[in-house]
Amino acid sequence: MRALLAAVLLALSTGCAAEERVVTPTLTGAPPIIIAHRGASGERPEHTLASYRLAIEQGADFIEPDLVLTRDGVLIARHENEISETTDVADRPEFADRKRVKTIDGREVSGWFTEDFTLAEIKTLRARERLPQLRGTGHDGRYDVPTFEEILALLEEVNEGREVPIGVYPETKHPAYFASIGLPHEAPLLAALARFGYRGRAAPVFIQSFEVGNLKALRAKSDLPLIQLMDAEGGPADQPGASYAAMASPEGLKAVAAYADGIGPNKAMVIPRGALGALGEPTTLVRDAHAAGLKVHPWTFRRENYFLPLEMKAGVNPAGHGDVQAEIRAYLAAGIDGLFSDNVAEATAARR
């Protein structure tokens, strides 16, 4: 019995030691930033002004709009240019004939696409929850699709009188595809940011993309901070033969540092999961990126059991809320410079 008790106490003490991780400094020594992934998208339909406003109220440092374009060249916030998942367009008989099959980044996609609608038509649509099985539909139909200018205007409003402004972290979605149909992102994006005063290296903005050419084109025209996004598999759609794995190597990161200020990796590239889904040990990615002078902002932290590591789930219901704060703390200990989260309140609490 005494031996069993000793073993239990040893296990408990080992567990406590694991919780008390030594935190690795960020690249600059500044506190890591909390980026509201598509707003407070764990509680409101993503990419709506209501979602962004709630994220700001919950303490986000940056809000993140994914940007696509309308037929008349207006930047709007949607996760994809195919919008049947996030709006009621499929239920609108007046737009039934707009359904198309297109090839986007080498993949065949069927649905309704923003580039086939004017802004006035987009504004008649209503936003829907993208993950209804996990988050319900209680807010469906309440909000419209915002333009990038409307998001910047919201920030201008909430930043009035703030000592430290809430920043904006736009992502250019499928920029090579949009450029191929005569709707490039760069000019309208930079023009909108300039109109709202975002200029220079210290501006509260990061522009992100999974592609490379778009970021290099932006660097040639602007000194605003840029982030190269990376996934755990595949490579940039505009760079045939290139892989994110190679870009994440020490040599690859040096090449990224020639045009970008940081990377936004899939979080599995920072701390992978084991065969059973438990959180593993950190890779060298943060250390290697910092050595190249790059910040590291992994994505995406969500509180639903469906997304969490095995040991941080709470029950078996995929929609149940587990311990996302514990997951975030593990990544903060690895020295990341910021993180994307659907759940801003939990992310800011974990940082505290």
* Residues linked to residue 69 through DSSP beta bridges, in sequence order: 75
- Does 257 map to a domain? yes
* pLDDT per position as a tens digit, 17-66: 344 567 789 999 999 999 999 999 999 999 999 999 999 999 999 999 99
The pLDDT of residue 24: 82
The answer to whether 79 is a known catalytic residue is yes
* pLDDT per position as a tens digit, 162-172: 999 999 999 99
Task: Look up tokens 């994440």; give the residue.
Answer: 248
The pLDDT of residue 3: 38
CATH of the domain at 256: 3.20.20.190
333, pLDDT greater than 90: yes
Q: How far apart are CA 186 and CA 129, in angstroms?
A: 29
Amino acid identity of residue 328, one-letter, is I
DSSP symbols for 201-256: TTSSB-EEES-SHHHHHHHHH--S-EEEEE-SSS--TTSTT--HHHHTSHHHHHHH
- Does 91 map to a domain? no
- Does 195 map to a domain? yes
Catalytic-role residue among 47, 79, 174, 297: 79
The pLDDT of residue 8: 34
- Does 180 map to a domain? yes
Query: DSSP 3-state assignment of 301?
Result: strand
* Residues linked to residue 34 through DSSP beta bridges, in sequence order: 339
- Does 128 map to a domain? no
Domain encompassing residue 306: 23-81+146-351
pTM of the model: 0.93
Structural domains of the chain, count: 1
Percent of the chain whose predicted confidence (pLDDT) is above 70:
94
Please give the mean pLDDT across all residues of the chain: 94
Task: Compute the average pLDDT of residues 323-338.
Answer: 98
Q: How far apart are CA 155 and CA 53, in angstroms?
A: 9
Task: Compute the average pLDDT of residues 329-348.
Answer: 98
**183 dihedral zone (left: phi>0; alpha: psi -120 to 50; beta):** beta
The pLDDT of residue 15: 41
- Does 99 map to a domain? no
* pLDDT per position as a tens digit, 227-277: 999 999 999 999 999 999 999 999 999 999 999 999 999 999 999 999 899
Alpha helix (H) residue ranges in the chain = 2-19, 49-57, 119-122, 132-135, 148-158, 175-180, 186-195, 213-221, 244-247, 250-256, 285-291, 324-333, 344-351
Asked if 349 and 329 count as a contact pair (C-beta separation under 8 A), the reply is: no
What are 198's two structure tokens?
Answer: 């975002």
- Does 4 map to a domain? no
- Does 126 map to a domain? no
